[in-house]
Amino acid sequence: MEHPLDSFFYPGNDLGATYRKSHTLFKVWAPTQRNISLILYQEHDRERGTIYPMKRGEKGIWELKLKGEYKNKYYNYIIDSGDKSIEVTDPYAKGATINGEKGMIVDFKSLNPMDWKHHPRPQMASPTQAIIYEMHIRDFSMDKSSGMKNRGKFISFTETNTTNTKGDDTGVDYLKELGITHIHLLPIFDFGSVKEEKHHEYNWGYDPVLYNVPEGSYSTDPYHGEIRIRELKDTIYCLHQQDIGVIMDVVYNHTYIAENHPLELLVPGYYHRTDKKGNFTNGSGCGNELASERQMVRKYILDSLCFWAREYQIDGFRFDLMALHDQDTMNIIERELKKINPNIILYGEPWIGGPSSLPPPLQFTKGSQRGKNIALFNDEFREAIKGDNDGRGLGFVTGAKGLEEEIKRGIVGSIYYNEHIQGFAQEPIESVNYVSAHDNLTLYDKIEKSCPYATAEEKIKMNKLALSIILTSQGIAFIHGGAEILRSKKGYPNSYNMGDDINQVNWDDRYRYKDNVDYIKGLIALRKTQRVMTLSRAEEVKKHLKFIKSPPNVVAYRLTSPYQGDYAKILIIHNANREKVEIYLPDEEKWKVIANAQEVNIYGVTKEEKYFRGKIKLEPLSTHILVRD
């Protein structure tokens, strides 16, 4: 798998433009080029710049040191092959003008919020304590019901005291009230599928161009490169102030239009995988795939991740199509990022998007993560709960029968629990439990498609039950933003470019489904207070979680906690039947109900009966939680 250009591996950490008040150092790796120059622009909109020849050094590095103050100036590289010359943006650029047309020389210290370097960040003992909420920057604030001023922008996340038309909290205040620990942001780096100056254009952003530059369409001024940097840092700082970590969705598996990408133009045929005929292979399903197994590609990915972790204090990374990364690369990423932040959360998709030239034994697929502190989206659990993603297939909550064992497997974090219940994970920290994400139908749209004859009330109960299972299972809890307010995309699954009307969150639904929100908020609060619900090791799960006998289409289990502050025993029961079902309770002692079909209250429900002994009648499509001190 070694490439001839791997012999030119450069280990330095100074590629790109390194700013100092007295000078700026430019370095670019391009071992096959004959001549490279730097072109320097004084303003973002200048068409003519000053050209400086660069000097070739060892390992294919082209270098130039410009003395003087060049803060906020713009630059590109000119590749001269003799027959023609082309202007290329620096792939290591950390700032840029509109649409990535020019790289920018950045003094990051001048753009930091006050106390940025040492400001407090969310801390947790284990990734299983994370409750992740996935959101797209535009979706969060674009609807008028959001009550936000900076709609569609990074800094909408800095706004407080915003409300919907009914006076309910929206935005960051709502996230804080809901109780999530982390927000997972769909791609926030520079992507090529929208024109940054056109506010109406929409895309999820899985089309990377400049990996180390924030996306300009999410800034209030995409022309001046320092604005997007400052606004993104302000956003992260404000979220941290609310004790909410920031997880960045990263797409290192492919680039946008490979033949025109700066990486390809600088070192043709190296950064992307090709077949024997020299054509780009398409394991991503997006036209190309990056060759992570090559030394300088691996370095580029690692340098980029470390930059975001250090400079922007990102708290976690979600890897798109992670199976396209070779296992060695992912292992090195985990090791190096943990050095920067021991609490960093790493997870991704353990699949590919098409046939790849990376041999299957090298791909980071399901099973590759065992014991490596990297989590995977648990698609098996997802489908057991709701059925297939976009079709009419049924799952546990929507009416399929005989799925109790599959639900149990997910509940224990897909570890090897016993000979009947075993999954892909070595430890529960390796399982991201979810029932919907930005891809495919929303949870509520899926329920509507699968259960067209169910009543409106039953559909709401199914939605609640699905999220209840996620929030009471071992592993990492993940919620598609808005699932708790029955978010709909009008039945469209792959809405990546379908605009705000389909994708934006309707914040008035926060009022319409207030009872549902309160229920999910209660489950989150319970999960955060009971350590036994977020165990990090398989042996702990096997010791403290025991399933109990239950009727068909019911899953029930008891947690016995050794931890101070927990309830001594917690009994969790999920009833997927559309009628009431009776279940016998373990032991002869009295159990206190802290969750029934209507409410969750850590101290005991206020609606319906509060105590049961011997047996309990379960409401249809519901979760019940009972405890003993």
Catalytic residues: 320, 349
Q: Are 165 and 145 in contact (CB under 8 A)?
A: yes
R_g of the chain computed on alpha carbons:
26
Quote the DSSP letter at residue 394: -
Residue 134: CB atoms within 10 Å: 23
CA distance 136 to 230: 19
CA distance 334 to 108: 25
Torsions phi, psi for 390 (to 5 deg): -120, -5
Residue type, 127: P
Which residues of 481-568 form beta strands (DSSP E)? Answer: 545-547, 554-560
Q: Are 42 and 70 in contact (CB under 8 A)?
A: no
* Residues pairing with 566 in the sheet: none
* Longest CA pairwise span in the chain (Å): 88
Residue type, 205: G
Q: Which residues contact 30 (CB under 8 A, 6 or more apart)?
A: 36, 60, 62, 79, 266, 267
Q: Which whole-number Å values give the CA distances from 30 to 26, 91, 257, 362, in the listed order?
A: 13, 11, 20, 27
Q: Which whole-number Å values give the CA distances from 241 to 58, 152, 176, 547, 566, in the listed order?
A: 45, 21, 10, 40, 27
CA distance 294 to 9: 9
Which pair of structure tokens corresponds to residue 420? 């009947």
Number of H helices, E strands in the chain: 14, 25
Strand order in the sheet with 61-67: 16-19, 23-29, 61-67, 55-56
Strand order in the sheet with 622-628: 545-547, 554-560, 569-575, 622-628, 591-595, 611-612
- Answer positive or negative: Cα dihedral of 9, 12, 18, 21: negative
366: closest CA among 355, 386, 381? 381
Q: Which whole-number Å values give the CA distances from 387 to 145, 331, 422, in the listed order?
A: 32, 33, 20
Q: Are 312 and 281 in contact (CB under 8 A)?
A: no
Torsion on CA atoms 344, 174, 189, 337, rounded to nearest 10: 0
Helix (H, G, I), strand (E, B) or coil at 549: coil
Q: Are 17 and 93 in contact (CB under 8 A)?
A: yes
Q: Are 461 and 620 in contact (CB under 8 A)?
A: yes
How is the chain split among helix, strand and coil, in percent rounded to 5? 30, 20, 50
CA distance 137 to 409: 34
